[in-house]
Amino acid sequence: MGSNVHHGVEGVGRRDLIKRSAALGLVAAPGMGLLSACASGGGDGQDKAKAGKKTSKNPLGVNDTAGMEFVLFDGGFGKEYAQDAVKVYGKDFPKAKVKFATTQKIQSTLQPRFNQGNPPDLIDNSGAEQMDMGVLVGKNQLADLTPLLDAPSYDDPAKKVRDTLRPGIVEMGQFDGKPVWVLYYAYTVYGVWYSQKALDSLDAQYPQTWDEMLAVCAKAKKKGMAGWTYAGKYPYYIPFSLYPMIAKVGGREVLDAIDNLEPNAWKHPAVKACFEAYYELYKKGYVLKGTPGLDHIQSQTAWAKGEALFIPNGSWVENESANVIPADFDLAVSAPTGIDSSDKLPFGTIWASGGEPFIVPAKAKNTEGGMEQLRILLSEASSKNFTTKVKSLTAYNGGTSGISLTPGLKSGVAALDKAGSNVVNPRLQDWYVQLQKEKIGVSGLGEMMAGRLTPAEAIKKIQGFADEAAKDTSIKHYKHQ
């Protein structure tokens, strides 16, 4: 489970580095000439495999004798699911030689191969040593995955691959609305996690309005239990429930404006209402004492022991906390509580989005083979296999019937069903990592929840951070299309 921590904390870690381009955007530019020079010089020695014949069984036209190389990040999801999918590729193309390898050091292992022009055909670009996707896209080093998305799906030739994917997956792989460069394979549900058993013992329902939330917390307090805890040292976990709440109260355009770094986006009345609601948890003493000093593991452990009822988190928490969650805990996740009936979106509005970014390098020998391996991974059988083995959903919209789901997973599927089209995907944490983690998270929300800033002060401070990021010409800016 170890590196699942990165999945969680290193803050939403997998997708975390994606936007280090922010920092690297310009820094990388002077070197680009150099890299492309050496790439187009002797380094460009990789001959492309000739495309094969497109047939109904081979819609991407994979050369059935060409080798295919796949490098996987060796992390919290293990490697079995990928090895199993590689076997299917071997069965489909028995004459092809398939090379499969795993590493935790994606960047140091693979960046030199990109620079030399001989990268593998498919990469799970994840973990603490993730290559910066913004930089790879900016240097034209990734293949456009549109042919894969438009190909017939592995199970049903009448359905395109893109029509089998969960909400937000295609958009997440785009940068500035251009082609799709990245395919996120895992699917994370973010929200408020709790023990259904604990909630039942308070004779309470999950609260849908903030008045109900305060009432449930008051009940918990009477029984010696805090209403909430969170990763105090990493307060960028708070947005997992706070951001979708903002969208519920004010509409998804409020989150889009925040992502777009629009002036005064944080001064929207919905943001103010939600900040004030959370601050009330602090003021009424409903947050577990000492929470600001806890890291993600300590806060999850206190919560699993029943010291606090609610915690904002992502669906990796089930795997990451498996050793501390009691057998009869009855883990559940819910969409965030709203303010009241004047909220713009219905109860059930939730944040869910992709993790585990897969890429096919533009200069790979066998780009069709890399895409075909992804097409296999996006089949129902591969998806079920992944979900069974690692307690996580995949980008494939389905793959849960007929397998026994763990309590958290079952609850996550139910929450997605309830949300329907009201799934939001704030991009701040992908586009502007430092702004989201250090500034909004630690210096803004963390300080407010510790009682050191009022909501008005926190909003003013956070808007200032966003304005600085918007003016900073050294970082690449992205916008919702």
Interval 301-313: pLDDT, tens: 999 999 999 999 9
pTM: 0.80
Interval 401-430: pLDDT, tens: 888 899 999 999 999 999 999 999 999 888
Q: What local confidence, expressed as pLDDT, does residue 212 receive? A: 98
Interval 186-210: pLDDT, tens: 999 999 999 999 999 999 999 999 9
Interval 65-78: pLDDT, tens: 999 999 999 877 88
**Spatial distance between the Cα atoms of 246 and 345, rounded to a whole number of angstroms:** 10
Residues 44 and 60 in one domain: yes
Q: What local confidence, expressed as pLDDT, does residue 454 receive? A: 98
Q: Strand, coil or helix: what is 19?
A: helix
481 domain residue, yes or no = no
Residues 281 and 321 in one domain: yes
> Which tokens sit at 11?
């803050």
- Could you give the number of structural domains in the chain? 2
Higher pLDDT, 15 or 297: 297
Residues 318 and 439 in one domain: yes
- Contact between 368 and 62 under an 8 Å Cβ cutoff? The reply is yes
Strands 183-195 and 393-394: antiparallel
Higher pLDDT, 104 or 193: 193
Q: Strand, coil or helix: what is 435?
A: helix
Interval 259-316: pLDDT, tens: 999 999 999 999 999 999 999 999 999 999 999 999 999 999 999 999 999 999 999 8
Q: Where are the beta strands (DSSP E) in 272-415?
A: 308-314, 331-334, 350-359, 393-394
Interval 208-228: pLDDT, tens: 999 999 999 999 999 999 999
Residues 222 and 118 in one domain: no
Q: What local confidence, expressed as pLDDT, does residue 18 receive? A: 34
Residues 280 and 136 in one domain: no
* CATH number of the domain that residue 36 is part of: 3.40.190.10
Interval 16-66: pLDDT, tens: 333 333 333 333 333 333 333 333 333 444 678 888 889 989 999 999 999
99 domain residue, yes or no = yes
344 domain residue, yes or no = yes
Residues 260 and 150 in one domain: no
411 domain residue, yes or no = no
> Which tokens sit at 89?
């590729």
In which domain, by residue range, is 436 found? 189-352+426-471
Q: What is the mean pLDDT of residues 348-367?
A: 95
Q: What local confidence, expressed as pLDDT, does residue 46 receive? A: 64
Residues 310 and 276 in one domain: yes
Residues 44 and 144 in one domain: yes
Residues 279 and 371 in one domain: no
Residues 210 and 70 in one domain: no
- Contact between 432 and 226 under an 8 Å Cβ cutoff? The reply is no
**For residue 89, pLDDT beyond 70:** yes
Residues 110-144: b if buried by 16+ CB within 10 A, e if exposed: bbebbbbbbbbbbbbbbbbbbbbbbbbbbbebbbe
* Residue % of the chain over a pLDDT of 70: 90
